[in-house]
């Protein structure tokens, strides 16, 4: 499996995501992390580091060694296993497992996404929660999701296969560079079924981290599935 976040992508990741607010994410996750938190696709620690700074015990799994290297430059107190979040197992159990910023879509098969839910459930204590932040698939074959002087983002979507490719055109050091990254788009209903197969129950679903109501117009959702006691 190709590491799409290697090299320059990892080196520029924190800069390219600097406009994304982390505090509301951490505010949401902190109360769920009293028994420890495991982040799937922990990356550079954009969320994990501030969550750990609030006193939570945080561990992580990530496929990209280059992304984790960026995290290790910030702290060495967060243990991270290099591997696929669908199958990689770490020691211990947690009251919270979470995957944010559409990273569940980096798993590009239905079997893999279902296995990710099963892996999350296996790491949870009874009463623990699996939290996912992900966009709601749109029905347009092409969608311009970002258009600035330094970045153009275009999503290409095939409804038949649920294949989504995000094309990023970025101006770096005076030159335009292209990165086309494959994903698998997945609906809230399909995620709910994956959760049920993993023995998890939907507890709540919101349109954003501020707990605004999720509606038919929502572009993304923050969903919380609970492991029964």
Q: How far apart are CA 36 and CA 97, in angstroms?
A: 9
- Where residue 179 falls among pLDDT bands split at 50, 70, 90? confident
| pLDDT for 91 beyond 80 | yes
Contact 227, 120 (CB under 8 A): no
pLDDT digit string (tens) for 122-165? Answer: 999 999 999 999 999 988 899 998 999 999 999 999 988 999 99
- At residue 18 the predicted structure's pLDDT band, cuts being 50, 70 and 90, is confident
Contact by Cβ (8 Å): 220, 134: yes
What is the structure's pLDDT at 16? 80
150 burial level (CB within 10 Å; 0-12, 13-18, 19+): exposed
Q: What is the predicted pLDDT for the residue at 158?
A: 93
Task: Please give the Cα distance from 188 to 192 (Å, whole number).
Answer: 6
From the list 184, 187, 179, the residue with the least C-alpha distance to 153 is 179
pLDDT bin (cut points 50, 70, 90) of residue 173 is: confident
> What's the DSSP call for residue 30?
G
Name every residue whose Cβ is closer than 8 Å to that of residue 34 and which is 6 or more positions away in sequence: 56, 95
Share of the chain above pLDDT 70, in %: 100
Does pLDDT of 19 surpass 90? Answer: no
pLDDT at residue 1 tops 80: no
Four-point Cα dihedral 34, 105, 118, 39, nearest 10: -20
pLDDT tens, position by position, 194-217: 999 999 999 999 999 999 999 999
Residue with tokens 């919380």: 224
The whole-angstrom separation of Cα 12 and Cα 25 is 21
Element (H, E) at 122: helix 110-123
pLDDT at 15 over 80: yes
């Amino acid at each position: 499996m190709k590491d799409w976040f290697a090299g320059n992508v990892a080196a520029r990741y924190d800069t390219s995501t600097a406009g994304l607010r982390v505090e509301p994410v951490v505010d949401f996750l902190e109360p769920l992390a009293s028994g420890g938190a495991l982040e799937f696709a922990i990356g550079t620690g954009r969320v994990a580091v501030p969550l750990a700074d609030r006193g939570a015990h945080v561990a992580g799994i990530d496929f990209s060694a280059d992304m984790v290297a960026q995290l290790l430059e910030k702290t060495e107190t967060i243990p991270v296993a290099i591997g696929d979040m669908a199958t990689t197992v770490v020691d211990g159990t947690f009251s919270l497992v979470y995957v944010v910023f559409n990273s569940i879509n980096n798993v590009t098969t239905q079997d893999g996404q279902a296995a990710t839910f099963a892996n999350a459930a296996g790491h949870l204590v009874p009463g623990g929660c699996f939290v996912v932040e992900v966009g709601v698939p749109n029905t347009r074959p092409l969608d311009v999701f970002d258009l600035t002087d330094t970045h153009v983002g275009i999503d290409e979507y095939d409804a038949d296969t649920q294949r989504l490719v995000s094309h990023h055109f970025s101006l770096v050091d005076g030159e335009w560079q292209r990165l086309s990254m494959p994903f698998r788009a997945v609906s809230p209903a399909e995620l709910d079924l994956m959760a049920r197969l993993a023995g998890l129950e939907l507890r709540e679903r919101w349109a954003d981290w501020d707990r605004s109501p999720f509606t038919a117009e929502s572009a993304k959702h923050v969903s919380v599935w609970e492991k029964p006691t």
